Amino acid sequence: MSKITIAAASILLLLYAMAPGAAAATSSHAAAKTSAVKAATEWLKIIDDGKYDDSWKDASSFFKSHVSEEQWAQQVGPARGSLGAVVARKVKSAMYLTTMPGAPDGQYVVIQYQTTFAHKKSAIETVTPMLDSDGRWRVSGYYIR
């Protein structure tokens, strides 16, 4: 065998050996995304129902350490109230990350929803759940554009 053929065979063997690990990571990230989207969707339902105090209580410890319950209600209430009821919402994208600006390293899923409100036909809601210290996915950020 030539050196090129041996090198090519070695690279293919290395890639083949790494494939199960890559598949496991992808599978793990898919499971994380599924769990995070479920948690975010449930949390958004609390917001949709106007239960802002409950949404704060169910948010991540990181979220609660940066925004008081009163601040949260004062910020989210008027913002969501002016948009009206949710007419439709669907997941547009979900991205698994282990780092976020201004936040500790961990497991995050940045989810974008395409949302139609009664008073805003097209909005993007960005919800970022994180795997909290209790092992549950909880929202650490929420933004409407």
pLDDT by residue for the chain (145 residues), tens only, comes to 433 333 333 333 333 333 344 344 455 699 999 999 999 999 999 999 999 999 999 999 999 999 999 999 999 999 999 999 999 999 999 999 999 998 999 999 999 999 999 999 999 999 999 999 999 999 999 999 9
* CA–CA distance, 44 with 38 (Å, rounded to integer): 10
**Domain boundaries, position 112:** 30-144
**Inter-residue contact 130 to 106 (CB < 8 Å):** yes
Tell me if 97 is assigned to some domain.
yes
Q: Residue 44's closest CA among 115, 132, 96, 134? A: 115
- From the number of C-beta atoms within 10 Å of its C-beta (0-12, 13-18, 19+), residue 67 rates as middle
Query: In this structure, is residue 22 part of a structural domain?
Result: no
111 closest CA partner among 20, 46, 32, 51: 32
What's the CATH code of the domain at 91? 3.10.450.100
Burial class (CB in 10 A: 0-12, 13-18, 19+), 117: buried
